[in-house]
Structure 1
């Protein structure tokens, strides 16, 4: 609802609350002075409702992040946009843990990779009695899985403005890789694949 409509609604509500009679006019200065204040309080209450959603928070973003333990070791200081910070916060606050493929895909979706897929390498091991089209993977492959990104890898090169202890070149999506490595079961290894 826009501000003009909200102001008109409060004007009408206050007018309806007045007792009937000639004591009050339609353009009473007291009512005209109260209406903008009521409308402003109403709008700020709507802002507070929006701020309670991690996907939409702006004013309370830093407080949300502090409560959620963000930024963490996966965050790159000063590199995240507002939208990326909101997505990361939403993923951290609303993630329901699990070790299923659906859980990891939902986390990837929350942090901005809805098209990512997961490949697992486990399954039956190939034996001399196996069919020729059976898997060739060994038992250790049961503990390896791969996250497949649809976007090309990001490459960051050192520049003359870089600090002397920075890497000459880095590649990959460090935030998504860090989040997946933090969430993966400790007995597994995650491989990241880029086109």
Structure 2
């Protein structure tokens, strides 16, 4: 049930209904008394509209004026959002931080990424072992036991939407910098994240250093970057 949205005319009728009866208390629209009350009722209409809007603005997914307070409460904004994030991106980070239940399991991290607006999957690896390795399989070293490959689209596009974007927001923005920053912040400390973009990319090789992060490009080329 929606909150009642009373107008100035409703407040005028309510105030006149509370007045005493008699010739000195006219309800005529042209009377001085009615005009005086009509000058007061618009402020009550504005207060009602603001109170109703607070019910919408108080929720993270629809907040606008209270967004800075949500961000301050949740430790945002942070460098993950970039220098000038859009309203939709800021809301997505607030929702992700607010709804995250913690934990280091793959389903929880996938759900966390989904709340940010990214559809991902995670692939794990095992070191090559004598008696288990077959011809054609990757000769993975021991460090691969701690590698988690985050499979994501080549670019996640965030489009402006009527009613949720504001003036100054780009019509569309794309990239995965927020995903990488947020995932690195919540990944288990012993794991090494590998970001595979574009789908179909596979990890090949047997060396994964503990002080670097390997990024797999859409053509399957591994690029090691400093963490």
The question of a shared fold, defined as TM-score above 0.5 by the shorter chain, is answered with yes
Q: 2:38 aligns with which of 24, 32, 46?
A: 32
Q: What residue number does 1:118 align with?
A: 122
Q: 1:6 to 1:180 in 2, by over 3 A?
A: same
**Which runs of 5 or more structure 2 residues have no equivalent in the other structure?**
158-174, 199-227
**1:15-164 pair list within 5 angstroms:** 15-19=16-20, 22=23, 23-25=25-27, 27=29, 28-78=34-84, 80-113=85-118, 115-122=119-126, 128=131, 140-152=143-155
Q: CA separation in 2, counterparts of 1:4 and 1:44? A: 10
What SS does structure 1 have at the residue aligned with 2:104? coil
CA shift digits 1:127-154 (9 cap, x unpaired)? 527899x998676444221211124489
**CA displacement at 1:6 relative to structure 2:** 3.3
The structure carrying a bigger helix percent of its residues is 1
Unaligned runs of 5+ in 1: 155-171
- The 8 Å contact of residues 111 and 176 in structure 1, kept in 2 or not, is answered as yes
What TM-score does the superposition give when structure 1 sets the normalisation length?
A: 0.70
Query: 1:126, 1:135 within 8 Å by CA — same for their partners in 2?
Result: no
Correspondent of 2:192 among 177, 189, 192? 189
Match of 2:8 in 1: 7
> How many aligned positions are there?
174
Shift in CA distance, 142/17, structure 1 to aligned 2, threshold 3 Å: farther
Q: CA deviation at 1:74?
A: 1.9
